[in-house]
Amino acid sequence: YSEEDRAEDYLFKVVLIGDSAVGKSNLLARFARDEFYPNSKSTIGVEFQTQKMDINGKEVKAQIWDTAGQERFRAVTSAYYRGAVGALLVYDISRRQTFDSIGRWLNELHTHSDMNVVTILVGNKSDLKDAREVTTAEGKALAEAQGLFFMETSALDSSNVTAAFQTVVTEIYNILS
């Protein structure tokens, strides 16, 4: 095998978590297929999507898991988290309640997966400027307090979507390679 072939053997499981309707499925749709669903129901998601990524000039694959809407019932199973090395912990900047849930999601993540899972706090729907209920400073402060990466994204206008996934996978790659 050439070095490039070996790099392709990297397969990192990354999970999307956060309250219902914060935009998890659309972040994945935007990242993996450059699609957006204005009226998506919780059923649009696939179980997971494998995405090839270029990290430091190496090709790695991220296997990104999306919930099938079970987060509404607070019943995301341990199988969902099993083997995850990365997580996007998503809230909606226009709904404070979803930001207040982050602590609970973080507990669940740490209960079901390795403490060292690389995690980014994602404030999605940054395009909804007039409806904002959570400031950027609040998101940053929580991320710093919890030792998480942080980014605000919009699956609607695409801003920072690739960057958010890239941040997590690059860090995983740097730790594991």
| Contact footprint for Mg ion (CB under 5 A) | 24-25, 42, 45
Cα–Cα nearest to 14, from 152, 167, 139? 167
Cα–Cα nearest to 23, from 156, 139, 166, 162? 156
CB of 159 to ligand GDP, least distance (A): 9
Query: Among residues 55 and 90, whose Cβ is nearest to ligand GDP?
Result: 90
Query: Among residues 16 and 142, whose Cβ is nearest to Mg ion?
Result: 16
Return the residue nearest Mg ion (CB atom): 25
Distance of CA 80 to the CA centre of its chain: 13
Return the residue nearest ligand GDP (CB atom): 23
Query: Among residues 23 and 139, whose Cβ is nearest to ligand GDP?
Result: 23
Q: Which residues bind ligand GDP (CB under 6 A)?
A: 20-26, 37-40, 42, 124-125, 127-128, 154-156
Q: Which two tokens stand for residue 12?
A: 């990192």
Q: Which does 163 bind (CB under 5 to 8 A by kind): ligand GDP, Mg ion, none?
A: none
Query: Among residues 10 and 30, whose Cβ is nearest to Mg ion?
Result: 30
